[in-house]
A and B are shown apart, each in its own frame.
Chain A
């Protein structure tokens, strides 16, 4: 089923939302790069689940939320979002800062989540190494660190191949500004999160790219250790964007995991 676009209001904030597919609800929270639209992996997962893919406040065409300060603000916002949508229980999937948001949300109200999928999430301070400072690099250089091998990315041309128009440039700038607003200090982690993660008993799938140059793989191992029911799957020849770099493998991993519910 093709996705439809909706605008819903949470508090005073209008949020753009893609809804597609059929089946039990799966809420998808995007990363710092913004909502990349209805992607190939979503279409595959959407054959069995209804995918809700909102654009975070401050990102893309959603309303600004300059009052927000941190990722746990965003997590609380999505708890409210679920209330507004009338979704009492969802599978929750988040990528990068969306994964961090999903993890925070799970620590706040684990009962609202069925199964949890964390894809290359930020949120924890690496035991070794550092999370790359994404705000320190020009976007084109950052993309080189983000994707392992562009030639293997099926949707590369569509996502990154063209020269961006004014609207896209403005959108990318908004995305970066809001990501900076939420993650600047401590950079990309919450020192308290590790203490709350053991509360999350939900079955959790953690997915990481072996070649991730943004968030070190060791963070995946830390999440696995801290979450009582978590499995870590590492994709070879893959960077920080598993859903984009390996869409078919990724979709199958997600489907296999969710079907066990």
Chain B
């Protein structure tokens, strides 16, 4: 099983009591609490940690993007990937991902991913996501078009990578008269496509139909298995066989020299389970963004909100793994056994987890956990 290192690049250097005054940390919490000086240091630090994860032997580095939130100030997955394409040597660069429905120019996305793939020597894994509702507000993109735009944007990007230009694109949401990108991926026909999921059965079916790697984020084993069933349904429709290499899973994880230290560090993940997801439903799932089926599935998938779970429950139920390297190996093996996955994505830094703790965790993962994973 392959392991991936991931940091959301948080900016949690403000008093929590200030954040509590607003309906949500997303969209509503004023950016007067953003500190350019701190962010400057943080970016250097987070990029150093990514570089170290590459050196430590992680199979991949996962890079994401959010907007209008201190929980993730990585505001351009492609920019970060471009940097890491140059500073890292061997790990795959998993962009998970470009938020397709909010893109105004899919050709630019095709170009930027291609450029990162070229700089990195063909190490890019190109994830495509629908985004949470906050991103639709940020971009002011009509949420009722979210799925249509996701699929059309995807189709145009793939066409950019597979059809010689120039050509014309006249879709419903995108219109380009002269498409001829002079930047194409090194990997042929194009970088592997990945798709995450939290609740949408349609996305799982679609990913299966397309043969893309599918990764549920922070859900229970039971829900992940249901989503994988939808994925297999789509794969079967297209006559595809599902191998572990097509299935991934994302959890939070940290290791340390002692269990006590690891459990202490792991508490930093609680912030992303509750406070950063707090807010009106309209922020996260604006009208029309989710289908009825997805809304119903989301209710079931989150019958108990992560924010309502204690730290101990989050650890018990594998949302967070925190322990010595040996314990972490055992927990990861259990995840693999439960889900039959080929990729485990680790959100491995969060909230106020300090640099030294993060680096030690990466180091121990490299020395003891990653080698053990090759046997799983």
Interface 0/1 of A170-209, CB less than 8 Å to B: 0001001100110011010000000000000000000000
Question: A144 to nearest B CB, angstroms?
Answer: 14
Q: How far in angstroms is the closest Cβ of chain A from B144? A: 5
Q: Is the beta-carbon distance between B143 and A180 smaller than 8 angstroms?
A: yes
Give the chain A neighbours of B282 by CB distance below 8 A.
135-138
Say whether B287 faces chain A, with CB atoms less than 8 Å apart.
yes
Tell me the number of A-to-B contacts counted with CB atoms below 8 Å.
Answer: 34
Given A177-B144, A180-B142, A180-B143, also A135-B280 (CB < 8 A)? no
Minimum Cβ distance to chain A for residue B275 (Å): 20
- Is B340 positioned at the interface, with any CB of A under 8 Å from its CB? no
Q: Which of B137, B280, B283, B287 is close to A176, meaning CB atoms less than 8 Å apart?
A: B287
| A135 contacts B286, C-beta separation under 8 Å | yes
Interface residue tally on A, bucketed by range = 10 to 19
One digit per residue, 1 when the CB lies within 8 angstroms of any chain A CB and 0 when it does not, for chain B 249-293 equals 000000000000000000000000000000011110011100000
Contact with B along A134-178 (1 / 0, CB 8 A): 011110000000000000000000000000000000000100110
CB of B140 closer than 8 Å to a CB of A = yes
CA A180 to CA B286, docked complex, whole Å: 10
Nearest CB on A from B229, distance (A): 27
Report yes or no: B287 in contact with A180, Cβ–Cβ below 8 A.
yes
Which residues on the B side are within 8 Å of A137 (C-beta)? Answer: 280, 282
Please report the C-alpha to C-alpha distance between residue A189 and residue B77 in the assembled complex, in whole angstroms.
33
Report if A181-B281 is in contact (Cβ < 8 Å); known contacts: A135-B286, A173-B287. Answer: no
Rounded to whole angstroms, the CA-CA distance of A184 and B287 in the bound complex is: 11
- CA distance in complex: A181, B281 (Å): 19
CA distance A138 to B286 in the complex (A): 10
Q: Say whether A177 contacts B140, CB under 8 Å.
A: no
Smallest Cβ distance from B175 to chain A, in angstroms?
Answer: 13
Check B280–A177 contact: CB distance below 8 A: no
Q: Which residues on the A side are within 8 Å of B281 (C-beta)?
A: 138
A176 to B142: give the CA distance in the assembly, Å: 12
Contact of A180 among B144, B280, B283 (CB under 8 A): B144
Residues in B neighbouring A187, C-beta threshold 8 A: 140
Selected from A176, A181, A185, the residue in CB contact (under 8 A) with B140 is A185
From residue B88, how far is it (CB to closest CB) to chain A in Å? 39
Question: Chain B 127-139 against A: per-residue CB contact (8 Å), 1 yes, 0 no?
Answer: 0000000000100
Max count, chain A CB within 10 A of own CB: residue among B137, B143, B283, B287: B287
Contact residues in A for B283 (Cβ distance below 8 Å): 136
Question: A185–B283 Cα gap in the complex (Å)?
Answer: 17
A176 to B288, CA, bound (A): 8
**Complexed CA–CA distance, A184 and B143 (Å):** 9
| CA of A87 to CA of B105, assembled, Å | 45
How far is it, in angstroms, between the C-alpha of A181 and the C-alpha of B288 when the chains are bound? Answer: 9
Chain B residues in contact with chain A, CB under 8 A? 137, 140, 142-144, 280-283, 286-288
In the A-B complex, the 3 residue pairs with the closest CB atoms: A184-B142, A177-B288, A176-B287
- Other than the known A177-B144, A181-B288, what 7 A-B pairs have Cβ atoms closer than 8 Å? A137-B280, A173-B287, A180-B142, A181-B142, A184-B144, A185-B142, A187-B140
